[in-house]
């Protein structure tokens, strides 16, 4: 395994996984929330839970910038978070969306009003691809109370719930970023998991097979990885499949709570969505944050194009 490219993140398989519950919840906080449950939190009809901090993560890899959609309308009180600038460090050999430094992420979350104890709800346009990276980052940096709005902005607006164009006056939060809250992999850890566990490739089948590669300089996949396109985790409306269907889907690929499981994609965004889906299914898994863009930065790393 080559070691010449980029900063490597230490694999954390020795760290205990979060306690597992049938719905994939951790510490009594389920990873998903539906629009009507969120509406009750926001209007104060859930007396034992103050309104959450909400983060708008609308983002598209090829543009336009998500801030444009945010300005046209967002959930009341939501702050916009830029995935490229606030959920990732500068692109380079470590990948196109490497983890940001803990201090930079902490400051970004504090600016958005995130505190250590309060509930945070993250959302994007519909399928939670970008929101899942925010969920994973917050969990990795130690926040225990994070939920993803299932179906995102589209589900909220389709339900006739109110939207706003006003920029919130978010109070400064007190969140403290402490790395290590979620299991993560570096390139060596991903290679070992592909051999001895289950490593899921969350990209589309054509990219996995090396038939097309629109972004990264080399096509193919990590040898031994199993293709599980993350779009298969959601329905046509962008909402996640029920936990039992997700469990069945992953079990067919060998990814169960009895196995060591990890996921990667092109740059650690859609793979975070895979990790979220696995969590809903009750299967703990590690994220290879650098993903394919980090893997191919080292020419010594092998590349496969045949089905596993």
**Residue 90 in tokens:** 């500068």
Active site residue 231: no
List the strands of the sheet with 184-185, edge to edge: 184-185, 286-288, 261-264, 198-201, 226-227
**DSSP secondary structure string, the chain?**
----SSPPPPP-TTSPPPPP-TT--BTTB-SEE-HHHHHHHHTT--TTSPPPEEEE----TTSS-HHHHHHH-B-TTPEE--HHHHSS---BTTBSSPPPPHHHHHHHHHHTT--SSS-EEEE-SSS-HHHHHHHHHHHHTT---EEEETTHHHHHHHTT---B-SPP-PPP------S-SS-EE-HHHHHHHHHHSEEEE-S-HHHHTTS--SSSSS-SB-TT-EE--GGGGB-TTSPBPPHHHHHHHHHHTT--TTS-EEEE-SSSSHHHHHHHHHHHTT---EEESSHHHHHTTSTTS--B-S--
Q: How far apart are the first and last CA of the chain?
A: 20
Give 198's strand partners: 261
Catalytic residue among 69, 265, 269, 277: 265
Catalytic residues: 265
């Amino acid at each position: 395994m080559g070691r010449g490219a980029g900063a490597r993140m230490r694999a954390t398989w020795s760290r205990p996984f979060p306690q597992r519950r049938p719905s994939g919840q951790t510490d009594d906080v389920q990873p998903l929330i539906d629009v009507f449950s969120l509406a009750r939190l926001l209007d104060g009809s859930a007396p034992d839970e103050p309104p959450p901090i909400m983060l708008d993560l609308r983002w598209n890899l090829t543009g336009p910038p998500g801030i444009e959609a945010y300005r046209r309308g967002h959930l009341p009180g939501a702050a916009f978070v830029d995935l490229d600038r606030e959920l990732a460090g500068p692109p380079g050999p470590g990948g196109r969306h490497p983890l940001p430094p803990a201090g930079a992420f902490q400051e970004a979350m504090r600016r958005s009003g995130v505190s250590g104890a309060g509930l945070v709800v993250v959302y994007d346009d519909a399928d939670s691809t970008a929101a899942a990276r925010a969920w994973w980052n917050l969990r990795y940096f130690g926040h225990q109370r994070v939920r993803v709005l299932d179906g995102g902005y589209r589900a909220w607006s389709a339900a006739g719930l109110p939207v706003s164009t006003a920029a919130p006056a978010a109070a400064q939060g007190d969140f403290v970023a402490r790395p290590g809250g979620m299991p993560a992999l570096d390139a060596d850890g991903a290679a070992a998991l592909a051999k001895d566990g289950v490593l899921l490739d969350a990209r589309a089948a054509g990219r996995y097979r090396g038939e097309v590669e629109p972004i990264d300089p080399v096509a193919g996949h990590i040898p031994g990885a199993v293709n599980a396109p993350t779009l298969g985790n959601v329905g046509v409306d962008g909402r996640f499949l029920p936990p039992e269907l997700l469990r069945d889907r992953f079990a067919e690929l060998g990814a169960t709570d009895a196995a060591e499981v990890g996921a990667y994609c092109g740059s650690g965004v859609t793979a975070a969505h895979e990790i979220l889906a696995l969590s809903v299914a009750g299967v703990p898994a590690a994220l290879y944050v650098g993903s394919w863009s980090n893997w191919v930065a080292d020419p010594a790393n092998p590349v496969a194009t045949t089905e596993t």
